[in-house]
Structure 1
Amino acid sequence: MLLQERDGAVLTVTLNLPEKRNPISDNDVVDALCAAMEAADKDISIGCVILTGAGSAFSSGGDLKQMAPDVGSLRSAKSVQTRRNYKYGIQRLPLLFQALEVPVVAAVNGHAIGAGCDLACMCDIRVASDNAKFAESFVKLGIIPGDGGAWLLPRIVGFSKATELALTGEMIDAAEALRIGLVSEVVAPEELIATARRIADKIAANPPHAVRMTKRLLREGQTAELKNILEMSAAMQALAHATADNDEAINAFMEKRAPKFTGE
């Protein structure tokens, strides 16, 4: 259900259930995706992760065929059990992605619908092919964003646009996603992975500890007060100044040569 390919400092993770349009609602998929991301986060030699989907979709979100009570991993005939299914199932993904320090670039190759749209929003950077489609479509099924979309989407596109997308459930194309800031770049389908890889390579070329601490600060900055971010920044800067990569960057600049970072 997942493919992983390591090339240098970049790991590409591919949702690989193309015949089902890469749903992420089942616990097996959640477990596999969490395990892959946690392993990448622990490995300082991985400078960036690319997340994409196999086939025509990035992710269809929930598998509608598994939405009957006690059929799939989410809905139960007992409401209290449905709550637990979400909490210990798909809701692990937004909590994990928010805690990750390794940067993640979403290469949205096709439809990103419902939880699939939210999965893209969990990533740090989103690039899309020009045939990608996005929809925060839960309301059309008579349900609500159960995986953090109400927190994620307004922080990316703003409250008004997020509200419009969530309450209408309407689908938007890649051009509109670019216009509202949901994605940062739109390219031809055949250029998508290369574009994501270009961004990932630029990130991975930098000192890994500085990259990961910078990402941590950006994530914390979404909710923390300025004084707390400054306190965290001072502590992290002390760590950054103590790295060999910081010394290498300064020496390389003074000697007018390319730096060679080691993660030390």
Structure 2
Amino acid sequence: MSTSTIPEILTHVDAGVMTITLNRLERKNSITSAMYGAMADALESANHDAAVRVVVIQGHESVFSAGNDIGDFLGKPPSTPDAPVFRFLRGISSFPKPIVAAVCGPAVGIGTTMLLHCDLVYAGDNAAFSMPFVNLGLCPEAASSFLVPQLMGYPRAAEALLLGEPFMAESALEMGLINRIVPPTEANALAQRQALKLAAKPLGPLMETKRLMKKGNAAIVAERMSEEAASFGRMLQEPAAREAFTAFMEKRKPDFSKV
């Protein structure tokens, strides 16, 4: 069964697997408010649909996601807890069934942090992960300020979150962010094969095992995500973010010397 809530987000259900595809290649799969809403709706549907046992999130072999669409983001900043981006983050972080991701090319900002809430992640050898929140005058989101130090250790997390510089698939594998590296043309297919393996297993034990593994962090993740969202919203109105976004739109290097 194929559905398309909006052209930029495609969903397809087959053999117990819902595949959510980022489909905005001409803009490097940068994510708009409408796309967040469509992904949040897809996860909610998958959660309540007994025919869906596993979710796959994928992009294109050349790019996973360039992160937020800056123009759309500035025009529709997330100002309430019900903003589409926050609905999506709550949905993916609390999703009870297995989530498999396939990542190739750039995975910027939320393109990386959403992976912290996936259960299996397969990357092309061209994958490049980055979390440049500080460089945009902002703070981390998706509970990454908690989950990234927990995953990578503080020194590597500080390098990733304070400097915001990209790290490649080999480093992501060593840190434990991803499960396996394959050629880009094989990543989506591998994610599908692994999802089908999961879909063939009993759903109750899968969900209970996932719940037990995540139980120790669940409350912390929810609390940290809420705190990050409040800080993120406040920082959006401050001079550093205004300078960062203005510089981005003007295609120049930001000058933070006065902020």
Aligned counterpart in structure 2 of residue 11 of structure 1, from 9, 18, 33: 18
TM-score normalized by the length of structure 2: 0.75
Aligned counterpart in structure 1 of residue 205 of structure 2, from 201, 207, 210: 210
The answer to whether the Cα contact below 8 Å between 1:90 and 1:147 also exists between their aligned partners in 2 is no
**Equivalent residue, structure 1, for 2:177:** 182
Shift of 1:156: 2.9
Aligned counterpart in structure 1 of residue 28 of structure 2, from 1, 13, 21: 21
Once residues 29 and 42 of structure 1 are traced to their aligned partners in structure 2, the CA distance between those partners, rounded to angstroms, is: 20
Aligned counterpart in structure 2 of residue 104 of structure 1, from 77, 99, 102: 99
Secondary structure class of the residue paired with 1:62: coil
**Equivalent residue, structure 2, for 1:150:** 145
Shift of 1:224: 6.7
Once residues 82 and 38 of structure 2 are traced to their aligned partners in structure 1, the CA distance between those partners, rounded to angstroms, is: 17
Shift of 1:115: 1.6
Q: Does 1:46 align with 2:52?
A: yes
How many residues align structurally?
213
Once residues 87 and 154 of structure 1 are traced to their aligned partners in structure 2, the CA distance between those partners, rounded to angstroms, is: 27
- 5+ unaligned residues in a row in structure 1: which ranges? 75-81, 226-264
The answer to whether the Cα contact below 8 Å between 1:94 and 1:148 also exists between their aligned partners in 2 is no
Shift of 1:159: 3.1
Once residues 70 and 190 of structure 2 are traced to their aligned partners in structure 1, the CA distance between those partners, rounded to angstroms, is: 32
Secondary structure class of the residue paired with 1:49: strand
Q: Percent identity?
A: 35
- 5+ unaligned residues in a row in structure 2: which ranges? 1-7, 221-259
TM-score normalized by the length of structure 1: 0.74
Secondary structure class of the residue paired with 1:13: strand
Cα RMSD, aligned residues only: 2.1
The answer to whether the Cα contact below 8 Å between 2:15 and 2:196 also exists between their aligned partners in 1 is no
Amino acid at match of 2:87: R
Sort the Cα spacing of 1:111 and 1:159 in 2 relative to 1 into closer, same or farther, 3 A: same
**Residue pairs, 1:1-264, within 5 angstroms:** 1-24=8-31, 26-54=32-60, 56-68=62-74, 71=75, 73-74=76-77, 84-85=79-80, 88-223=83-218
Amino acid at match of 2:47: D
Q: Which portions of structure 1, spanning 4 or more consecutive aligned residues, are displaced by more than 3 angstroms?
A: none
Shift of 1:85: 4.4
The answer to whether the Cα contact below 8 Å between 2:100 and 2:118 also exists between their aligned partners in 1 is yes
**Equivalent residue, structure 2, for 1:242:** none
**Structure with the greater alpha carbon radius of gyration:** 1
Once residues 36 and 199 of structure 1 are traced to their aligned partners in structure 2, the CA distance between those partners, rounded to angstroms, is: 20
Secondary structure class of the residue paired with 2:171: helix
Shift of 1:204: 1.3
The answer to whether the Cα contact below 8 Å between 1:108 and 1:120 also exists between their aligned partners in 2 is no
Once residues 160 and 199 of structure 1 are traced to their aligned partners in structure 2, the CA distance between those partners, rounded to angstroms, is: 32
